[in-house]
Chains A and B, each alone.
Chain A
Amino acid sequence: MTFDERMQNVAIIGAAGKMGSGISLLLAQEMARLKNKPENKDKNYRLYLIDINLDHLAGLQQYLRAQLVKAGEKACVMLREMYKDRQDLVENQDCINQYVEDALSFIRTGTDLSIVKDSRVIFEAVLEKKDLKVDLLKKIDNFCGKDTLYLTNTSSIPINILNKEANLNGRIIGFHFYNPPAVQKLAELISADSTIQELKDFSMELAKRLSKKIVPSNDIAGFIGNGHFLRDGLYGLREAKKLAEDYSLPGGLYIINKISQDLLVRPMGIFQLIDYVGVDVFQSISETIDHYIQGEDLKDDLLKKMYDKKILGGQKSDGSQKDGFLKYDRNRPVGVYDIDKGEYKLFDPQGWSGELDKKLGEYPVGFYAWRNLVADPKKSDKLKTFFQNLKSSNTLGAKLALSYLQNSKEIGEKLVKSGVAKTAEDVNNVLLNGFYHLYGPINDYI
């Protein structure tokens, strides 16, 4: 079956979630494009969007409509070409409306799994729980054709395990989109040992159609992206706890978040990033990877405590940041959680946090915040100078930052050594494209 034939009938399970909704949008766009090819005029298209949460499904429809309008507006030059034989579509507005209608017309939403029985490609994006995923995959494969292909968005569960436990005989692959899928250019592609060639080819073609940059990763829990992120985050937690002896735990968290943003020249501090991803998501990544990887402690008691206390971060439905390790006001951190007191300690530049800033010391000459470098064509030179100055600086901040960078580099190198990533370049590519770092962890700066 060709790629285009398969794309006539597609399903997404967990479609109303963060990842599922973005994947739904991308597939709806690609299918609308296919449907409008002259040779496909008489073919029927179906995109089934399945989720158990009815409210979210309703929201999903609104989201898709709004996003399709935006996409149509951006791609109007292409749309006019696509609809050139439709004499009734004259203005841009006509073409954009038609495009949205075309895409929505083949979408069916629902909670009942069995409606996907004719789908030839199934995307799985439900919660990161192995048993749930296995259970759903098994159920679906019971009523779908035996040539159905499965693409899972799992962040950490080995594909081999899903393949074996759901009995899929190699008809599953890890197609790991980054969040938000419609925006992020990166996807990690993870084959199990038995993943069939047709599925690998299908995935490469899909990436091409969706303009995603593929980085291959080996099938080892966490893959490249979360393999690095988890260890990087756990390191941050441990460092914060060490600092707690001198500066209290909120103080330690504050310090590590600050240096991991400023002195590592990253878009966010490490605890802000964990909050952004969700403390619960991070916790579940930690448990999964810890479960599959021997000889390394990949859990953390503070993380578990936060999770148990339901201090979870993540986003509200309007996209704004919920409180987690940090407290937020309009998406900017304004305080840090004090787990012993069960309340947030607000930053106080005139008081305690200002004192800690002083302890960290002056930033070395040549310091630029991430946002000031991100579009700078000379950023490599500027980073080089800055990191050189960082190395010769003797402040507490510089020392903490250097060991953070060193640790991040070691994580990256270990990912290559243990065969998760084929090359250092793959590791760097994931961090550059999926996490918006300005430099890869494996570098000559340090």
Chain B
Amino acid sequence: MTKFRKKVYLAAGYNTISFGSGRKEFNPKKARPGIEQYITEAGRGSIVQISDPKNIDEGVISNFMAARFCKQGNLAGFIPEIDPALEYKPSTRVEGACGSGGLALVTSMKTVLSDLADSVLTIGVEVQNTVKAIYGADILAGAGHYASERKEGHAYFFPAKFSDRAGVYYQKFGYEPTRKGMALWYEQMIKNARKNPKAQEYHNAIEDLFGAGMTPPNPKTFVENLNIYDCSKVSDGASALIFASEEGLKKLGIDKKDAIEVVGYGQCEANLTKQPEDPTKLLTTQKAAEKAYQMTGLGPKDIGLLEVHDCFTITGILALEAAGFAEYGKGAAFVESGKTRFDGEIPTNPGGGLIGFGHYVGGTGVRQAVDCIHELTGKANGYQVKLNSNRPYAMMISMGGNDKTVTAMIFKKAE
């Protein structure tokens, strides 16, 4: 696999609060900020960290379904709204369901690598609380294949997709140990979220988190194999960061100590019309991670910080296996070993992940990269982990749909 022909950096990360049920200030009956407010808050949060926004060359914005959640399309048009200096600059909107954020990252990166831009402002956004969860489920189902899957699909389409995976996994590797691993995942994510004031679960006050995570699923009102604690919540929010070349960093006045570098990446797309070959495996995730390892010559043993797409607790466990951290069938035991904990060997989703931080779907991939910037440059405040010096790399995996659109990226602190 080819190497990058020049260095690409990320800096100036910003996340809005992940807003929705769970936040004390959330009231479904009260008016809330719209998608444009989230975009501008995140965009401005990023550009205040640079010398002058007129030196930004392009914009990329990722989102999944604003056309249905907010009746809003043409989202690239909100980038000039962030700052007048961005008017008439090229901007592009990308979409890849829950993996949209990952696509924003690679699109921005490739734009910088193309030499056509020295810097790109990258935004990811989703506003979902505009509809009740039961209708949101319809909208999110668009990440699957509508024609062949929706009619037979469940009321809670995606929870059921991963519930089905969990069901097969239980059969193969045992219900008890798997459920325990899932409950521990929930516990770890909420504990992490409690350190992150912007997390949706920051105010979570459940005493017995593990006990809650062990709640038996209720297929009558929800799905067969997952309980509500196994699921990430419905969220509004946006994230922003800046991609830049060496030249770009200089123009934007960004100090290297505040930046991270992309070491390599892997991007994979699987056929949307096909069912997963083996429900107990995230094969596309596995392929994307392998590509990233191949390009960098690195492996799981080098990774000291991991950001995975835990839209469901079971997905977190499957991702640990797919990316080579845990052996096949040993993901739950891996979680139980404590290695993924905040103070573990490979702190995973230290800001709370999708389960704890929240999941503003089309923005999540960007949020993951922002957290990698924060952690590697020492800016994560309450959720700052201590990186193991033998494992100086951070890896993030953004996943869309039922393991269809996957981007893995490996970062290190800029030198």
**Which residues of A pack against B, CB within 8 Å?**
73-74, 76-80, 87, 90-93, 96
Contacts and interface: CB of A to CB of B under 8 A. Distances in A.
B305 to A, nearest CB: 38
A92 B155 contact: yes
B154 A80 contact: yes
B391 to A, nearest CB: 44
B295 to A, nearest CB: 41
A77 B141 CA distance: 15
Nearest to A88: B151
Given A90-B146, A91-B150, 17 more contacts: A73-B132, A73-B134, A77-B154, A77-B156, A77-B222, A78-B220, A79-B155, A80-B155, A87-B151, A90-B150, A91-B138, A91-B141, A92-B135, A92-B137, A92-B138, A92-B155, A93-B135
A92 to B, nearest CB: 5
A99 to B, nearest CB: 12
B139 to A, nearest CB: 9
B221 interface: yes
Q: Which of A74, A80, A87 has the most CB of B within 10 A?
A: A80
A87 B222 CA distance: 23
Interface in B5-46: none
A318 to B, nearest CB: 15
Nearest to A76: B155
Contacts of A73: 132, 134
A79 B155 CA distance: 9
A93 B138 contact: yes
A333 to B, nearest CB: 25
B150 A77 contact: no
Report whether over half of chain B's contact residues are helix, strand or loop; otherwise say mixed.
loop
Contacts of B132: 73
A77 B138 contact: no
A324 to B, nearest CB: 28
A92 B157 CA distance: 10
Contacts of A79: 155
B130 to A, nearest CB: 14
A74 B220 CA distance: 11
Contacts of B135: 92-93
Contacts of B155: 76-77, 79-80, 92
A77 B219 CA distance: 9
23 contacts: A73-B132, A73-B134, A74-B221, A77-B155, A77-B156, A77-B220, A77-B221, A77-B222, A78-B220, A79-B155, A87-B151, A90-B150, A90-B151, A91-B141, A91-B150, A92-B134, A92-B135, A92-B137, A92-B138, A92-B155, A93-B135, A93-B138, A96-B134
A70 to B, nearest CB: 10
A79 B134 CA distance: 12
Contacts of B221: 74, 77
B376 to A, nearest CB: 42
Nearest to A72: B134
A379 B146 CA distance: 49
Contacts of A74: 221
Contacts of A90: 146, 150-151
Q: Which of A90, A92, A93 has the most CB of B within 10 A?
A: A92
Contacts of A87: 151
A77 B137 CA distance: 12
Contacts of B138: 91-93
A373 B154 CA distance: 37
A74 B135 CA distance: 11
B152 to A, nearest CB: 8
A77 B150 CA distance: 13
Contacts of A92: 134-135, 137-138, 155
A248 to B, nearest CB: 41
A74 B155 CA distance: 10
A76 B134 contact: yes
A7 to B, nearest CB: 23
A87 B151 CA distance: 7
Contacts of B146: 90
Nearest to A94: B138
B129 to A, nearest CB: 15
Q: Which of A76, A79, A91 has the most CB of B within 10 A?
A: A91
Interface string B65-77: 0000000000000
Contacts of A80: 154-155
Contacts of A78: 220
Nearest to A91: B138
A78 to B, nearest CB: 8
A411 B155 CA distance: 49
Contacts of B219: 77
Contacts of A77: 154-156, 219-222
Q: Which of B155, B220, B221 has the most CB of A within 10 A?
A: B155
Contacts of B151: 87, 90
A90 B144 CA distance: 13
Q: Which of B132, B138, B141, B150 has the most CB of A within 10 A?
A: B138
